[in-house]
Amino acid sequence: MAGDDKRKSIIDAGISVFSRLGFHGAKMEDIAQEARVAKGTVYLYFPSKEVLLEEIYRHALGTYFEGLVERSAKDSAPAEKLYDMALFTLTFAGENRESARFILEAATGMREEFKVWLFTLRARWIDLTCLIIQEAMKRGEARPDLDALAAAHMYVGALNSLVSSRLWGNRTVSAAADAATLCALFWRGVGVAG
């Protein structure tokens, strides 16, 4: 197995083992066994469980955020951009259910430096959303007196709630239907006819 393949295998095994046993219950030897590599190989790539956990976060959230940036950069109306971002988020969570559940549950034991990285990534998501809302305001598609930053927090919060209901609840509505409902309600609230 090549180096990149081993690294990915260890990350995938980490997600699986952490999801099953929890961060504190998992041992590096459990991860090695799941990845079908020697325990020393796991330590070669990741010197501790904390470093492996952080890499899982960085990989999954980095991939997710790249998708958000791609959708926000499209040459389309703000309403379409936010719908595309919501649909992408809901679909991404559904397609990566195990890692999404793990990531949302396992935010304990993180180093301060990593917490700052997570907070910065979330702030970038809010800023990206805020820019789209400000674009809608300039185009006359949203109320001119709107607090765009507060609206961005509300949009992201509602989207996170829908993701949670899909990951831990029995929500069977399609991602497209949830994205459409979220966006219709959001745009009504910011002053755009639905």
User: What pLDDT sits at residue 194?
Assistant: 44
Contact 108, 25 (CB under 8 A): no
pLDDT in tens, the chain (194 residues): 676 889 989 998 998 898 788 788 889 999 999 999 999 999 999 999 889 988 888 888 888 999 999 999 999 999 999 999 999 999 998 888 877 777 766 655 677 788 788 889 999 999 999 999 999 999 999 999 999 999 999 999 999 999 988 888 888 889 999 999 999 999 999 975 54
The three-state secondary structure class of 127 is helix
Contact 49, 28 (CB under 8 A): yes
Contact 16, 98 (CB under 8 A): yes
- pTM of this prediction exceeds 0.95: no
User: What pLDDT sits at residue 148?
Assistant: 97
